[in-house]
């Protein structure tokens, strides 16, 4: 009998002493059922930046059902909730973005989005084409797990559900910048913040780039003014379309011919050209919009100057005028992964992914407003491959066919829990 009691005591002690990550292995299957259910809901009902009202209400309901007190209406539709650990330790922030994109989905899934909205005055389809639905669901899964295991949690967790990562509508503030402006770090400032982004990489693989990981980004607008006339008599007007064509072509020489690419990387791309209403009318005006990506502030200043020089002088050569505007939807700084955090927690990501880990040696030219949070406190931002097992995909984020394999999302949950556990242990 004494041997049996001793054995029972050993088993009980072992169970009680299991760490967060060890206990997660026992609970992951049941937890992921909920994560996938949440992800399908958010995917089916996406909302655009600063308009995520139903999304925010759904998240709040889930968090309150977990017994958490939720601060809502931060940066319009943002949410913050705190999970208090039973043991002393750091305050760790975990962040998920919640907005969709003006993209009409082409996946044909049972839970595909059929939502429509208005973007820049046009009716558009709406889709979670960047995977933010997965980000929300993963963080909700992490929240549920940690709430049930606060006895194993050292320190506290700040859950941040952030709107408008894809940038707010013109004339509005939003996203991480506005959440910080409204003071989410003022009462309690995190010791570190972690975030993730799904991407079309190998199934369940985690990617990390220490240091500068993603580019700064801002949008520019060039408005070319001409003189409207009949298409059969172009000499009686000033053709802004032809001027716009030449401006766009010449701008491609900024990176290839005007900047020293050995010093830094940069991208200047035009993504939108609007002008004209009919095939036989030369219009009065053409509007072009594009994006600038770089990793150096002085390069950004040079690019601004070159765009202005090209736009105004090429337009003048066509007897037209050009107005140039920068940061028309705001701007994002470089996303920087804290070097000490990267070195300290790289092994955590390797463990969470079962060794399916890759360290990127060069940064990505995508951009993230997680960068604003990482300017305030040490940050770590990593990527999670969500292609189906043993399959490649040519459809990347922002594509109408960007696909997220549900079975890859458990690695995201494991990664957050492992980061929380290991950072808390070393704090």
Instruction: Examine the residue annotation and report whether 165 is marked as an active-site residue of this protein.
Output: yes
Residue 327: both structure tokens together = 């940061």
Residue 345: both structure tokens together = 């927690």
Nearest Cα to 370, choosing from 93, 158, 171?
A: 93
If asked whether residues 294 and 190 sit together in one domain, one would say no
Q: What is the distance, to the nearest Å, from the Cα of residue 93 to the centroid of all Cα atoms in its chain?
A: 16
8 Å CB contact between 129 and 401: no
The residue out of 331, 348, 383 marking a domain boundary is: 331
If asked whether residues 95 and 202 sit together in one domain, one would say yes
Structural domain that includes position 194: 19-214+334-426
If asked whether residues 384 and 280 sit together in one domain, one would say no
The residue out of 312, 331, 350 marking a domain boundary is: 331
If asked whether residues 93 and 178 sit together in one domain, one would say yes
8 Å CB contact between 47 and 59: no
CATH number at residue 250: 3.30.70.360
If asked whether residues 82 and 111 sit together in one domain, one would say yes
Each residue's pLDDT, cut to its tens digit, for the chain (427 residues) gives 445 444 444 444 444 579 999 999 999 999 999 999 999 999 999 999 999 999 999 999 999 999 999 999 999 999 999 999 999 999 999 999 999 999 999 999 999 999 999 998 899 999 999 999 999 999 999 999 999 999 999 999 999 999 999 999 989 999 999 999 999 999 999 999 999 999 999 999 999 999 999 999 999 999 999 999 999 999 999 999 999 999 999 999 999 999 887 777 899 999 999 999 999 999 999 999 999 999 988 889 999 999 999 999 999 999 999 999 999 998 999 999 999 999 999 999 999 999 999 999 999 999 999 999 999 999 999 999 999 999 999 999 999 999 999 999 999 999 999 999 999 999 8
SS3 content of the chain, % helix, strand, coil (to 5): 40, 30, 35
Determine the Cα–Cα distance for residues 92 and 351; give it in Å rounded to an integer: 20
If asked whether residues 230 and 81 sit together in one domain, one would say no
Quote the pLDDT of residue 157: 98
If asked whether residues 237 and 386 sit together in one domain, one would say no
- How many domains does one find in the chain? 2
Quote the pLDDT of residue 383: 98
8 Å CB contact between 139 and 159: yes
If asked whether residues 291 and 414 sit together in one domain, one would say no
If asked whether residues 192 and 70 sit together in one domain, one would say yes
If asked whether residues 51 and 131 sit together in one domain, one would say yes
Quote the pLDDT of residue 87: 96
Instruction: Examine the residue annotation and report whether 389 is marked as an active-site residue of this protein.
Output: no
Place of tokens 């509508």: 169
Catalytic residue among 47, 52, 97, 99: 99
Q: Residue 2 falls within a domain, yes or no?
A: no
Catalytic residue among 144, 165, 166, 421: 165
The residue out of 331, 358, 393 marking a domain boundary is: 331
If asked whether residues 40 and 105 sit together in one domain, one would say yes
Backbone angles phi, psi at 146, to 5 degrees: -70, -35
Q: What is the distance, to the nearest Å, from the Cα of residue 20 to the centroid of all Cα atoms in its chain?
A: 27
């Amino acid at each position: 009998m004494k041997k049996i009691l001793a054995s029972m005591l050993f088993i009980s002690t072992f169970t009680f002493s299991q760490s967060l990550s060890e206990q997660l292995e026992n609970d992951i299957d049941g937890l992921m059922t909920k994560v996938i259910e949440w992800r399908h809901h958010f995917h089916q009902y996406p909302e655009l930046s600063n308009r995520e009202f139903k999304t925010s209400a759904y998240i709040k309901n889930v968090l309150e059902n977990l017994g958490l007190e939720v601060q809502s209406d931060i940066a319009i539709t943002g949410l913050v909730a705190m999970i208090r650990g039973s043991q002393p330790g750091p305050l760790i922030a975990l962040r998920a973005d919640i907005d969709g994109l003006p993209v009409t989905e082409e996946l044909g899934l049972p839970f595909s989005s059929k939502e429509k909205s208005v973007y820049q005055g046009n009716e558009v389809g709406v889709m979670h084409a960047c995977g933010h639905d997965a980000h929300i669901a993963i963080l909700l899964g992490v929240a549920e797990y940690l709430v049930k295991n606060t006895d194993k949690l050292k320190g506290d967790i700040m859950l941040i559900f952030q709107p408008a990562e894809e940038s707010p509508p013109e004339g509005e503030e939003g996203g991480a910048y506005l959440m910080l402006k409204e003071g989410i770090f003022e009462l309690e400032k995190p010791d570190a913040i972690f975030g993730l982004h799904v991407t079309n990489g190998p199934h369940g693989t985690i990617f990390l780039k220490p240091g500068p990981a993603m580019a700064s980004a801002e949008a520019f607008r060039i408005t070319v003014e001409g003189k409207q006339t009949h298409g059969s008599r172009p000499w009686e007007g000033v053709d802004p379309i032809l001027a716009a064509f030449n401006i766009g072509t010449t701008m491609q020489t900024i990176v290839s011919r005007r900047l020293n690419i050995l010093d830094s990387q940069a991208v200047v791309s035009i993504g939108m050209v609007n002008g004209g209403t009919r095939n036989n009318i030369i219009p009065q005006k053409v509007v072009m919009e594009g994006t600038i990506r770089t990793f150096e502030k002085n390069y950004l200043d040079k690019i601004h100057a070159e765009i202005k020089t090209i736009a105004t002088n090429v337009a003048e050569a066509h007897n037209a005028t050009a107005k140039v505007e920068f940061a028309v939807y705001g701007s994002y700084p470089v996303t920087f992964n804290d070097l000490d955090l990267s070195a300290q927690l790289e092994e955590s990501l390797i463990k969470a992914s079962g060794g399916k880990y890759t360290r990127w040696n060069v940064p990505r030219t995508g951009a993230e407003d997680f960068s604003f949070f990482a300017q305030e406190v040490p940050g770590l931002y990593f990527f999670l491959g969500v292609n189906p097992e043993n399959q490649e995909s040519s459809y990347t984020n922002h594509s109408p066919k960007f696909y997220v394999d549900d079975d890859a999302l458990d690695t995201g949950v494991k990664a957050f829990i492992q980061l929380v556990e290991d950072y808390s242990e070393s704090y």
